[in-house]
Structure 1
Amino acid sequence: MLPAGDFYIFIVLLLLGGGWLLWWFLRKVVQFGWRLPSHPSIQHQDQLTRPLAQILQQHGYEPLSGREQVPITIELNDGRQFTTRLTIDGWAEKAGELYVIKQRRARSRVSFTATSLRDHLLIYSLLYRCNGILYIDLDHQIIHEIHFAYPSLRKHWRFASLGIPFLLGMSLMYFLIK
């Protein structure tokens, strides 16, 4: 049997470890629903164009919002500064997944090769952290659903993989000593 002080220390460590695992789980695993990224400098247009909304609905997508522009400032080390915009044609949702919409345009065609898709569309996946990109060709009434899979860009320790064995070991030792 453990002395009373050791038992209380064990309970405190168990609660701290359990609380930490719960915090990690809620932060990393549970998603509290999608919301459209928003920032005061982003310019929204409320509605998609009618042909774009119709083709989305025909393919089972729910149109959410229209054109969005994100202002970007580029600074060079020689002091020059440029401003530009990153524009998407809208947002859509299907089966709880959020998609960025890019419409095919004559002046900027995307060929369906890994390099072309990376160069033209990966930026939207990285910026918006969406489930995929809908590349829509209105002339041919085709929607290409494009998904990018890449490892996490953040380097961090995976302490949760150590937390569960620690708590199991603490529990086992408690019952063995008891």
Structure 2
Amino acid sequence: MPESFTLDWTLLSIMIVVAVIAGALLFSYLYKAYHRWLTWRRQRAGRIGEERAAKLLKREGYAVLKAQAPAQMVMRVDGAPVNIRVRADYLVQRAGKTYVAEVKTGDWAPRPTNGDTRRQLLEYSLIYKTDGVLLVDMAAQKIHRIEFEFPR
């Protein structure tokens, strides 16, 4: 006569809990690794885009004065000063005028009407006080001169 099989519910419960925890830890590790890879990939694409942008700017007659040009301003929050630091991709010059140039790659970022891009360009125009702002669209291989008009 075959021996009857008895199920140890306590052992089974412990095994299920351990499996769920192990699965959650594995998922967390893979999720973080994927996001690290995506960040690395975006940064690499940005670096390559900036290198190509310097060549495009030179081809279009701009002299690159400085790459990764830092600047700063003071913003007051409830009267307390807060230092704000920014870093534009390039300061360039052409025909005696100096411009701050921002390089964008991808589908949405190079659009001057994209909210994040527009705000960044506006911030640069205020902080750098150059003769103008350039948006270098690497997808289209085009340099846009950006000007802001404010209501009176």
Which TM-score applies when normalising by structure 2?
0.51
Task: Confirm whether residue 101 of structure 1 aligns to residue 71 of structure 2.
Answer: no
Judging changes above 3 Å, is the alpha-carbon distance between structure 1 residues 114 and 138 closer, same or farther for their aligned structure 2 residues?
closer
Q: Indicate the residue corresponding to 2:9 in structure 1.
A: none
- 2:89 matched to 1:89? yes
- 8 Å contact 1:98–1:131 — kept in the other structure? yes
Q: In 2, distance between residues paired with 1:120 and 1:110?
A: 12
What residue number does 1:54 align with?
Answer: 55
Q: Are residues 1:70 and 2:66 paired?
A: no
Cα-Cα RMSD: 3.6
Aligned-pair identity in percent equals 28
Q: CA deviation at 1:61?
A: 1.2
**1:62–1:92 Cα contact (<8 Å) kept:** yes
Q: 1:125 to 1:76 in 2, by over 3 A?
A: closer
Tell me, which stretches of 5 or more residues in structure 1 are unaligned? 1-48, 152-178
Q: Distance in 2 between matches of 1:67 and 1:143?
A: 18
Which AA in structure 2 matches 1:138?
M
Question: Are 1:110 and 1:120, in contact at CA under 8 Å, matched by a contact in 2?
Answer: no
State how far apart, in whole Å, the 1-side matches of 2:109 and 2:73 are.
22
Task: Decide which structure has greater strand share.
Answer: 2
Pair 107,83 (structure 1): closer, same or farther in 2 beyond 3 Å: farther
Match of 1:126 in 2: 126
Residues 149 and 134 (structure 1), Cα distance of their counterparts in 2 relative to 1, 3 Å cut: same
Q: CA deviation at 1:56?
A: 0.6
Give distance in 2, aligned partners of 1:117 and 1:100.
14
Q: Which amino acid aligns with 1:64?
A: L
Q: Deviations over 1:104-147 (max 9, x none)?
A: 14497153339776523111111111111111122321111112
TM-score normalised by structure 1 residue count: 0.45
Where in structure 2 are there 5+ consecutive unaligned residues?
1-49
Equivalent runs, 1:130-169 vs 2, <5 Å? 130-149=130-149
Q: Supply the distance in 1 between the matched residues of 2:108 and 2:69 (Cα, whole angstroms).
A: 18
Cα displacement string for residues 59-100 of structure 1 (whole angstroms, at most 9, x for unaligned residues): 1111111002335676755x9x98763120011111111000
